[in-house]
Amino acid sequence: MKKNRTLLWLIPLILLLLLIPFIVPSSLSVAGAESDLPVYQPVVLTNPDPGPVPTKEIEWKNNTKREKVLYAPHVNAFTRNEKGLPCSYQDGTISVKMEERIIQNTRVIFTWVQIADPSQFRAQFTEPYPSEGAMYATKLAEREHAVLTMNGDYCVGVRSGVVIRNGTEYRRVEAGKYDLLIVDDEGNFHIFRAPQLSDIDPYYGSILHSFVFGPALIIDGELVDIGTEHDYVPNSTFKKKAQRQILCQMDTLSYLIITTEGPEQSKDGGFTLYDAAQLAYDCGAKQAYTMDGGSSTWLVLGTEQINNSNRRNLRRITDIVYFVTAEPDPDPVVDPVGETP
């Protein structure tokens, strides 16, 4: 009888031990081990105070004008990997470093960006707002003199929320269920969950950019409970494995872009939004926000596309986020008539 009582006491204990891995959340759930992930390493720039990026006003379409950055990427500042693709860029005012991992049968690209001045963090439409004119991101990168380019938030298709680009306001309506990302004039992120317009009033006058897509994944270093598709907006794909684009702030003027490929690039590949959030958290992001994804996911270094390894389902996009240099090229390419491009 005593033996039977001992067995009865052991059974629930064994069951509890078996359930612990499912009860206690693990920060290793995505990558398998934190040591598999790249580690954030701040960069000390040699020209840390270049001042705002110089621009000029040029004619655009429909009698509109836009600012064009004067300084193009430095020709000799790129390094390339064994595949011949650019994998890093370094000049005195901006550092871009890319690292790749295969996680969950998916190619994931981690792009670390350090800039010297907030004006180097830029965004632009393909055509004057609110046009839905679209273009490949590689062409937009060349047009805008971008060092690094990623897709934006498709705000011309998302009819909610506040839209500000490079300090100019284009739309101010309620965000509804959408989360809002504000980048202030010091380059810092502020993320609001389904905000009212009054929530962002204190930031007016200091907003460099505002994006309306989301959802928010990390706010002030804490994982956000993003809920389900039904809690957010129509056509959200939280549980679907897909190409994802996550924009993170790591520190002052220091950012991380996490770009995942999807089932179009590798069998059973892609990330759910929950796994993408965990990945950003495991990398130590202070703030993390979801940009447009799927076939709109673009990552371009210089003018060369880095993601979407088999170039399937390329989609033209309506807007980009990009980073530029704040100093002229010391070794510019000179054409036969002696003019620099």
Instruction: Quote the percentage of the chain above a pLDDT of 90.
Output: 79
| Dihedral pair phi/psi, residue 201, rounded to 5° | -55, -40
Q: Dump pLDDT digits (tens) for 65-117.
A: 999 999 999 999 999 998 888 999 999 999 999 999 999 999 999 999 999 99
Q: CA torsion, points 157, 305, 191, 250, in degrees to nearest 10?
A: 180
Q: Which of 179-188, 281-290, 308-317 has the lowest mean pLDDT?
A: 308-317
pTM of the model: 0.89
Q: What is the pLDDT of residue 228?
A: 92
Q: What is the pLDDT of residue 35?
A: 54
CA atoms within 13 A on the CB side of 167: 11
Q: Dump pLDDT digits (tens) for 180-236.
A: 999 999 999 999 999 999 999 999 999 999 999 999 999 999 999 999 988 998 889
What is the residue whose two structure tokens read 């000179």?
A: 334
192 DSSP 8-state letter: E
